């Protein structure tokens, strides 16, 4: 009985059965509405208990995934070991088209196993950080062994003045503050620093403002779109939008004539007892509840994604095994076996 159970669990039929069960549950979870049948208590409790209303994050999904992974791993290991034993026992005489096709199938199975391993590794061990870096600013990588400085950020336009690409000129320093290399980071060209990879993810503008209160005390601020300035306990200014080439108007009917900083203007919205909207050009100031807010400067910042992903070698090995396996079974047709 024990051997029958082991043979059943380690058979390819079991893999297909588990996969079929997962597909059925995928379909059921898609059909379950939001709230999981609130008008039918029994169905509602069953769906909630088995977490079918959120199947992709449910314990059943992870259990089935673990069973599928275990089954494929054991089956592939058994068949791979048998192929190796046959080769060691019979030598090169075993190298027939049928044998090579069997090896190709096992390579595909091993590739699938490594995809599972890579997915689990990525889920639990991968880390990524989004860093908005103005020109001249520094950022220390999480390993505390390197830091980077943005020397210059450049937006590249094509002949029609449309966005072509954007790139960051970065200096990379070691723990002692010595510059070890200088590279350009762009959308399709990443930089590897230690265990981390740097990607050019986005870009934007940072705005330099001066807030002067009623006592003439000044505070220098650096803000981005979507951020808020606290003027008083109940008064806040929301930096709603930036127009690089202001077309005129009051904000709601305004546009930017181009993407170049020809006529830079901030659209501010006052939140408080008396909401108001302000248009603040660069170099000008506006009075808000007895406070002076002046728009002094603007500079581009580079949005860099800092990623540590230990699953990359596993995924690379999986890709290699899957490619080799499919090449073998495609170039050795079944009818020639």
Cβ distance 113 to 72 under 8 Å?
A: yes
Q: What is the pLDDT of residue 13?
A: 74
Cα atoms in the 13 Å half-sphere on the side-chain side of 260: 5
**Average pLDDT value over all residues in the chain:** 83
Question: What is the crossing angle of helices 59-90 and 97-125, to 10°?
Answer: 140
Bridge partners (DSSP) of residue 172 are 148, 181
All structural domains of the chain with their residue ranges: 1-74, 96-126+310-337, 128-204+304-309, 205-300
Across 125-134, 317-326, 328-337, least confident range: 328-337
Mean pLDDT along residues 200-215 = 88
Distance between CA atoms of residues 244 and 240, nearest Å: 13
205-300: in CATH 1.20.1440: no
pLDDT at 336: 46
Tokens for 98, please give them: 């049928």
Of 295, 296, 279, 293, which is closest to residue 218 (Cα–Cα)? 293
195, burial (CB in 10 Å: exposed 0-12, middle 13-18, buried 19+)? middle
With the C-alpha atoms ordered 32, 37, 43, 45, is the resulting torsion angle positive or negative?
A: positive
Give mean pLDDT, residues 156-184.
Answer: 85
Q: How would residue 334 be classed by pLDDT, with cut points 50, 70 and 90?
A: low
Segment among 98-107, 233-242, 326-335 with least mean pLDDT: 326-335
Tally the C-alpha atoms within 13 A of residue 50's C-alpha that lie toward its C-beta.
13
Give me the torsion for CA of 46, 48, 49, 53, rounded to 10°: 100
Report the pLDDT value the prediction gives residue 171, as an integer from 0 to 100: 94
> For residue 128, how many other CB atoms are within 10 A of its CB?
13
Query: What confidence tier does 48 reach under pLDDT thresholds 50, 70, 90?
Result: confident
What are 59-78's pLDDT values in tens digits?
A: 777 787 788 888 888 888 88
Please compute the mean of the pLDDT values over residues 7-26 and round it to a whole number: 70
99 pLDDT band (50/70/90 cuts)? confident
Residue 133 confidence (pLDDT) above 80: yes
Task: Please determine, for residue 2, whether its predicted confidence score (pLDDT) is greater than 70.
Answer: no
Average pLDDT estimate for 224-229: 86
- Confidence at residue 307, expressed as pLDDT on a 0 to 100 scale: 92
Residue 55: predicted pLDDT: 67
Note the pLDDT tens digit of each residue in 261-305: 889 999 988 876 677 888 889 999 988 878 888 999 888 888 999
**Has residue 1 got a pLDDT over 60?**
no
pLDDT at 255: 86
Sign of the dihedral through C-alpha 188, 194, 196, 201: negative
Given a contact cutoff of 8 angstroms between Cβ atoms, the answer to whether 235 and 288 are in contact is yes
How confident is the model at residue 8, as a pLDDT? 54
Measured CA to CA, the distance from residue 303 to residue 259 in angstroms comes to 18
Which pLDDT value is given to residue 192?
92
265, 253 in Cβ contact below 8 A?
no
- Binned at pLDDT 50, 70 and 90, residue 185 comes out as very high
Length of the chain: 337
Nearest to 64 by CA among 105, 23, 34: 23
pTM for the structure as a whole: 0.64
Edge-to-edge strands of the sheet including 147-157?
138-140, 147-157, 163-173, 179-186
Q: pLDDT digits over 83-95, tens only?
A: 888 888 888 888 8
């Amino acid at each position: 009985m024990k051997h029958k159970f082991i043979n059943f669990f380690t058979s390819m039929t079991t893999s297909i059965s588990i996969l079929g069960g997962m597909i059925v549950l995928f379909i059921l979870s898609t059909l379950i509405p939001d709230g999981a049948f609130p008008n039918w208590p029994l169905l509602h409790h069953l769906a909630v208990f088995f977490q079918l209303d959120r199947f992709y994050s449910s314990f059943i999904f992870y259990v089935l995934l673990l069973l599928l992974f275990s089954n494929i791993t054991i089956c592939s290991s058994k068949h791979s070991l048998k192929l190796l034993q046959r080769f060691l026992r019979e030598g090169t005489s075993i190298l027939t088209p049928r044998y090579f096709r069997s090896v190709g199938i096992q390579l595909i199975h091993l590739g699938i196993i490594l995809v599972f391993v890579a997915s689990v590794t990525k889920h639990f061990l991968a880390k990524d950080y989004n860093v908005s870096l103005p020109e001249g600013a520094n950022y220390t990588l999480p390993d505390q062994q390197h830091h980077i400085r943005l020397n210059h950020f450049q937006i590249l336009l094509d002949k029609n003045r449309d966005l072509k690409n954007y790139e960051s000129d970065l200096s990379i320093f070691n723990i002692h503050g010595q510059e070890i290399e200088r590279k350009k980071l762009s959308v399709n060209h990443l930089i590897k620093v230690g265990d981390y990879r740097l990607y050019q993810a986005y870009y934007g503008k940072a705005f330099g403002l001066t807030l002067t209160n009623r006592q003439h005390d000044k505070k220098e601020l650096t803000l981005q779109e979507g951020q808020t300035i606290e003027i008083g306990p109940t008064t806040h200014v929301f930096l709603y939008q930036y127009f690089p080439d202001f077309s005129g108007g009051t904000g709601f009917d305004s546009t930017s004539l181009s993407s170049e900083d020809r006529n830079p203007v901030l659209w501010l919205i006052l939140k408080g007892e008396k909401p108001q909207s302000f248009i603040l050009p660069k170099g000008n100031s506006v009075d808000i509840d007895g406070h002076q807010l002046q728009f002094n400067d603007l500079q581009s910042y580079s949005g860099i994604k800092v990623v540590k992903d230990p699953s990359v070698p596993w995924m690379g090995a999986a890709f290699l095994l899957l490619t080799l396996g499919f090449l073998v079974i495609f170039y050795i047709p079944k009818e020639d076996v």
